[in-house]
Amino acid sequence: MIRRLASIAAVLVLTAQTAPPVPPATPPAPIAAPAPLAPQPQPALVMVRLTTTKGPIVLALEKERAPVTTANFLRYVDAKRFDGIAFYRAMKVSWGGGLIQAGVRETPKLFPPIRHEPTSLTGIHHSEGAISMARNAPGSATADFSIMVGDMTGLDASPTDPGFAAFGHVVEGMDVVKAILASPTSPTRGEGVMKGQMLEPTVKILTARRL
């Protein structure tokens, strides 16, 4: 029996000596860091300064997302047809926001109406500081424009309403915009929904220039 055990032990020793070495465990590959996100392209902007009797307002107009509306506004700027016009309307809403409106009042200075660019097409919404074209029917906008105080997204397009065409936003001078909104209005001037919203006196735009 002792011999048999010795023989088995010898076989185990021999097996251990002749068995191939166990290779070391391969370390796990390092986890690669996620690739940085590519920077998102910024919209192409055209800057315009409106110099008013209450101070300057600088606008950034989106010539790529709203090309028709922006080109129309710049046509009035370049022709200096905004020089000497005025903000004549201040529409206040109950929660403290609203809009101010300006425009060319002399028919000979108006260019033809432009095609409507709804917010559902451009993605530019009527948020704080947005500039938008005033109009009657879609496709009738000429030179009148409004600047929002607070979010006025009820003016955006909806499935049942084409809304208004926003085409840029204020980058400097929102304090001036708010001061114009807070200016006195006539209780009797204006027609329909605009009655009581006519500024008295108006706030003149001295010059409008590209930057």
Transcribe 30-79 into DSSP letters.
PPPPPPPPPPPPPPPEEEEEEEETTEEEEEEEETTTSHHHHHHHHHHHHT
C-alpha Rg value of the chain to the nearest Å: 34
**Is residue 23 reached through a cis peptide bond, with omega within 30 degrees of 0 on the bond before it?**
no
Please give the single-letter amino acid code of residue 185: T
- Listed residue (201, 206, 134, 124) closest to 167, CA to CA: 124
Quote the pLDDT of residue 36. Answer: 67
Q: What is the pLDDT of residue 28?
A: 65
pLDDT of residue 197: 97
Tens digits of residue pLDDT in 119-163 = 999 999 999 999 999 999 999 999 999 999 999 999 999 999 999
Complete domains list, the chain, with CATH: 45-210 (2.40.100.10)
CA distance to 32, 143, 174, 207, 208, per residue, from 83 (Å) = 59, 12, 20, 4, 6
Distances (CA, A) of 170 to 45, 48, 102, 180: 12, 10, 15, 14
73: number of Cβ within 10 Å:
26
How many CB atoms sit inside 10 A of residue 91's CB? 18
- Cβ partners under 8 Å of residue 73, min gap 6: 48, 61, 133, 145, 167, 168
Predicted confidence at residue 193, as pLDDT, reads 87
Tally Cβ neighbours within 10 Å of residue 7.
10
Q: Give residue 131's identity as a one-letter amino acid code.
A: I
Number of neighbours of residue 138 by Cβ within 10 angstroms? 17
pTM: 0.80
> What pLDDT, on the 0 to 100 scale, is given for residue 96?
86
How many whole angstroms separate alpha carbon 73 and alpha carbon 184?
27
Instruction: Please list the ranges in the chain whose pLDDT falls under 70.
Output: 1-42
Whether the Cβ atoms of residue 210 and residue 77 lie closer than 8 Å to each other: yes
Q: How far is CA 37 from CA 32, 34, 43, in A?
A: 15, 9, 18
